Amino acid sequence: MDAPLATNTADPLDSLLGAARTISHGAPIRDELVSDIYSRSRQICKLAVQYEDKKKLQSTYKLDKILTSKIWGYPIMFAILGVVFWITITGANVPSGWIADFFGVIEGYLTAGFQAVHAPAWLHGVLVLGFFRGTAWVISVMLPPMAIFFPVFALLENFGYLPRVAFNMDRLFKKSGGHGKQALTMSMGFGCNAAAILSTRIIESPRERMLAILTNNFVPCNGRWPTLILLSSLFMAAGVGAGLHSLATAGVVMGMVLFGIIVTLTVSWVLSKTALRGVPTHYTLELPPYRRPQIWKTILLSSRDKSLNVLTRAVVVAAPAGVITWILGNIFIGGDSILAHMAGFFEPFGHMIGLDGYIIMAFLLGLPANEIVLPILLMGYMSSGAMVDADGLDNIKDIFLQHGWTWLTALNMMLFSLLHYPCGTTLFNIYKETKSVKWTVLSAVIPLGIAIAVTFIVAQTARWLGWV
């Protein structure tokens, strides 16, 4: 910015500035300026604004007295989070089944069509079993929970609750060396980490913004919800009676989120003591008045926007991944598919951290989008080498059990999903925002290291204690 312009001598601005300095005698005038502007504002308001009833003005702080109170602040925050998850999980089950059935019928027609024109088997495999199933899976598993989660979250956001979360949690972030507004960018991460990276621009200090960027990944995004929800529903909440099942699932998912927050705070703390040293910067947080959101408009708008988003992503990312996975699973070398060879290669490492070779493969191939990790995994497990239909959760659980899954595999898969590197889009955004290869690489390596360490410790401890 300050590159000297050698050709310019006697800059007219410098002489103006000089004159200004002489005139002002170096006395600061900012305070007086602002004071005078404010007195003018007050003067105008006295003339033009009337408060009919001061009591009415209190409605927002009456609510704040409860929502940010010492006793109720945290319980209410967790309750709201839990309710959001519960609504999402319960509400998504039925439409998910419908959509999967619908795609199943279409697939039947497609297959019949391919047979009618005597299309070669590989073409049917690539297009229908790879491309079509990949897309269908993502849509039927992703769309319903997102179409519920996003509107509910948008309602909370438009109501004005998020700044209260930041207010409640500020002390924790301060202690961990982060910025209070990190709570806001974290909340954005529930929707999409890639978008949340952009929202870190609200943090002015570069150091604290970097902390927010590096730790945003520990908040599960829409691509990882289905993995968390599905696995906790199948394995963690399995023993619970039918009526309480979705409640237990929501409880487990919430436990994961809380663990993610703990990791966020810990990593921020470690980084702010090491690579990103510095004191927390000063800040002011505005708590806007609560506003009743326009319920239907918010619901329609956010489900429309998000649905569109999921659909686009499904076609752009999941479909090609489906094709690639199909190809890898159907080209055989020495009796085994390439996919099986690769899984075999990762097996020892996978076992060490309580997973298996296929899971590691799925996470690697799933780098472009977390949505496709689970479909790829299922496809790898299936001998047919194509992604399965999502017809029935028991079916999916059987596939897992046949491949030697235990509660530990499920737990570690959830932990790995929660903690591992961010998706390709997010990494790209991190690079765009930081313009630094080093920090972009670190933003993938740090979470990966933590994911490996945590799953390793969990797996070894569980085995040592003889729990598995």
Partner 1 sequence: MTTSSSLSLADASTGSYIRLERIEVQGVLRRRLLDLGFVPGNVIEVMQKSPLGDPTAFRVNNTTIALRIEESSLIFGYYEESDER
Partner 2 sequence: MRPYTVALAGNPNTGKSTLFNTLTGLRQHTGNWAGKTVVSAEGEFIHEDTAFRMIDLPGTYSLYSNSADEEVARDYIIFEQPDVTIVVLDATSLERNLNLALQVLEMTSRVVVCINLMDEAKKLGIRVDTDQIERQLGVPVVAVSARNKTGIDTLLDKVAEIASGSHVPKPVPVIYNDDIEKKIAQLEPLIRQTLGDRFPARWVALRLLDEDESLISSLRAKLHEQPATEQKEEIRYGRTACH
Least separation in angstroms between residue 342's CB and partner 1 is: 48
**Region from 19-27, 140-148, 165-173, 426-434 binding partner 1, contact rule CB under 8 A:** 165-173
Least separation in angstroms between residue 22's CB and partner 2 is: 9
* Angle between helices 59-67 and 73-116 in degrees, nearest 10: 90
Cα–Cα distance for residue pair 241/342, rounded to 1 Å: 39
Among 93, 168, 307, 309, binds partner 1 (CB under 8 A): 168
Residues 258-287 close enough to bind partner 1 by CB under 8 A: 282-287
The gap from C-alpha 433 to its chain's centroid, in whole angstroms, comes to 18
> Longest Cα pair distance anywhere in the chain, in angstroms?
92
67, with CB counted inside 10 A (0-12, 13-18, 19+), is: buried
Q: Which does 460 bind (CB under 5 to 8 A by kind): partner 2, partner 1, none?
A: none
Q: Is 118 in the site for partner 1 (CB under 8 A)?
A: no
Strand pairing report for 332-333 and 336-337: antiparallel
**Region from 70-78, 189-197, 254-262, 336-344 binding partner 1, contact rule CB under 8 A:** 70-78
Least separation in angstroms between residue 393's CB and partner 2 is: 33
Q: Which does 73 bind (CB under 5 to 8 A by kind): partner 2, partner 1, none?
A: partner 1
Among 167, 190, 235, 326, binds partner 1 (CB under 8 A): 167
Cα–Cα distance for residue pair 162/158, rounded to 1 Å: 9
Q: How far is CA 386 from CA 127, 129, 232, 322, 375, in A?
A: 11, 6, 24, 8, 9
Least separation in angstroms between residue 287's CB and partner 1 is: 4
Cα–Cα distance for residue pair 154/106, rounded to 1 Å: 33
Among 108, 206, 278, 288, binds partner 1 (CB under 8 A): 288
> Six-digit token pair at 309?
């988003």
Q: Which does 9 bind (CB under 5 to 8 A by kind): partner 2, partner 1, none?
A: none
> Six-digit token pair at 68?
């940010």
> Six-digit token pair at 273?
């003591």
Q: Which does 44 bind (CB under 5 to 8 A by kind): partner 2, partner 1, none?
A: partner 2
> Six-digit token pair at 259?
């663990």
Residues 52-111 close enough to bind partner 2 by CB under 8 A: 52-54, 56-57, 59
Residues 11-30 close enough to bind partner 2 by CB under 8 A: 11-13, 15-17, 19-21, 23-24, 29-30
**Residue 334, by phi and psi: left (phi above 0), alpha (psi -120 to 50) or beta?**
left
Q: Is 80 in the site for partner 1 (CB under 8 A)?
A: no
Interface ranges with partner 1 (CB under 8 A): 30-31, 34-35, 38-39, 51, 57, 60-61, 64-65, 68-71, 73-74, 167-168, 170-172, 174, 180, 282-289
